Structure 1
Amino acid sequence: MKIQCVNIKCQGCVDKIKNALLDKCQNVEVDIKTQMVEVDVGDELVDEVKSQLRELGFLPSDSVFGKIKGFFSK
């Protein structure tokens, strides 16, 4: 599954994402240029992965504030 993210700017961001998700996902690929995170995970863990990305600051919140913050961070 591919997840469009924000704020992925460097290899440090990539490492942070991979370290946080590798316990839930066997395969995690991060593309800095496209801000895309690809994970090999079952449907039952998708919300958990998105929640983790949101906590790390790489996925905007579904709230109005999160959408505004995501808009300005691009």
Structure 2
Amino acid sequence: MLGLLINEMEAKEMEYLLKRELEELLLDLDDHRIDHLVKRAMKERYRTLFNLLRRVATHEECLKYLPKRTENK
């Protein structure tokens, strides 16, 4: 287990960066031109970034970025 000690301003900056990256990934995941293998890697990255966001953002903010469930999981 690793720890990270950051102040309030750094936490807000991390939250901002994570949100922007998650939004970009959501847009790219909806693009039908992107290959399935690439999308699978993007979904894995999304999960990792979302888990980081959960550590610095409020519950309400995290709800906006919850991964959508797919029927063919």
TM band (smaller chain)? 0.3 to 0.5
Query: TM-score, normalization: structure 2?
Result: 0.33
* Rg larger for: 2
Q: Which has the higher strand share?
A: 1
Query: TM-score, normalization: structure 1?
Result: 0.33
Q: Which has the higher helix share?
A: 2
